[in-house]
Amino acid sequence: MIDIRVRFSKHGAIRYIGHLDVMRYFQKVMRRAEVDIAYTNGFSPHQVMTFAQPLGVGIESDGEYMDIRMNSIESCEALKNSINAHSVPEIQALSVKILPEGSGNAMASVAAAEYEIGFKHDRIPDCFKDSGAKINDKLKSFLAQDEIILVKEGKAGPRNVDIKDRIFELEWDEKEDCIHAVLDASSGYNIKPISLMELITAFLNDSLYENSLMIYRVDTYTRDDNGELLSMDLVGHAD
């Protein structure tokens, strides 16, 4: 048995496909590719496959992860090529790595996600119609609050979470004309980019226009032994 981590992209029209359907999609990719993926036992066996933090509909990404268990592989490169040959251009494996024994599964080990968050050109709220330096000052004062309360809707009803220490990076990238953010994405504390932007605009006595954001997930992170953020891609090794 070999545990494999696949980093993949999600672009174009496929950004409208929901997470559950992406999972079903990859099961079919594996069957089409006829790769030697492991199945669970029992009356209705299914592929051993787990996904990192689900991506919201409408978001593009180059930092999606799925862990699969293989009975055998020829090489990481061959597996990657095989997956890509049986996948649509909008979803492609970017890297395939062998996971060291004992690494946690894709979902459980997620710590953070990195985003680029921009505005559609006709829907920039007034508080962001400013110079890059001034926007960065505003973001700094946002972060300087004693607490930043996000109301998270859970199964047990809404709960207040202080996300002040869960925003790991937040700045305006003048050159790229977007916010660059690294946010907690761990299970139970995931911060959606739109929630963050709602809090920021509210703090600035403003609000977001409807469907005004363009969001791109750059990568997803876990933590290394020293507690530092580490791209999930760097946990495994090639062959």
Partner 1 sequence: MHNFWNTKLALSDDILMKIEKPERYIGHEVNAVTKDPDSVRVRFAMCFPDVYEIGMSHLGIQILYDMFNTFEDCWCERVYAPWTDLDKIMREQNIPLFALESQDPIKDFDFLGITIQYEMCYTNILQVLDLAQVPLLAKDRTDGCPIVIGGGPCTYNPEPIADFFDMFYIGEGETRYRELLDLYEEYKDAGKTRDDFLKAAAKIPGMYVPKFYETTYNEDGTIKSFKPTVEGLPENIIKEVVKDMSNTYYPLSPVVPYIKCTQDRVVLEIMRGCIRGCRFCQAGELYRPVRERDVEVLKKYAVEMLKNTGHEEISLSSLSSSDYSKLPELLDFLIQECSKKHVNITLPSLRIDAFSLDVMSKVQDIKKTSLTFAPEAGTQRLRNVINKGLTVENIIDGSTEAFLGGWNKVKLYFMLGHPFETNEDIRGIAELSNQIAATFFDVVPKEKRVNGKIQITVSTSFFVPKPFTAFQWAPQNTKEQFIEKAYYCRGAITEQLNQKSIKYNWHDADLSVLEGILARGDRRIAPVILDVYKKGSFFESWTEYYKHDRWLDSFAEHGIDTDFYTSRPRNDDEIFPWDFISCGVNKKFLLNEWHKAQREEITPNCSQKCSGCGGAQFGVGICFAGR
Binding of partner 1 by 16 (CB under 8 A): yes
Length of the chain: 239
Binding residue for partner 1, selected from 55, 178, 181, 197, defined by CB under 8 A: 178
Closest CA to 82 of 31, 45, 47: 31
Binding residue for partner 1, selected from 2, 27, 124, 231, defined by CB under 8 A: 27
Binding of partner 1 by 238 (CB under 8 A): no
Q: Which H helix or E strand runs over 203?
A: helix 193-203
Q: 18 or 104: whose CB is closer to partner 1?
A: 18
Question: Which of 9-17, 95-103, 132-140, 187-195 is the region at the interface with partner 1 (rule: CB under 8 A)?
Answer: 9-17
B/e letters for 141-161, b = 16+ CB within 10 Å, e = fewer, are ebeeeeebebebeeeeeeeeb
**Percentages helix, strand, coil for the chain, rounded to the nearest 5?**
25, 35, 40
Binding of partner 1 by 11 (CB under 8 A): yes
Residue ranges binding partner 1 (CB under 8 A) = 11-14, 16-18, 21, 24-25, 27-32, 34, 39, 43-46, 57-58, 60, 86-88, 90, 116, 118, 176-178, 210-211, 214, 216, 218
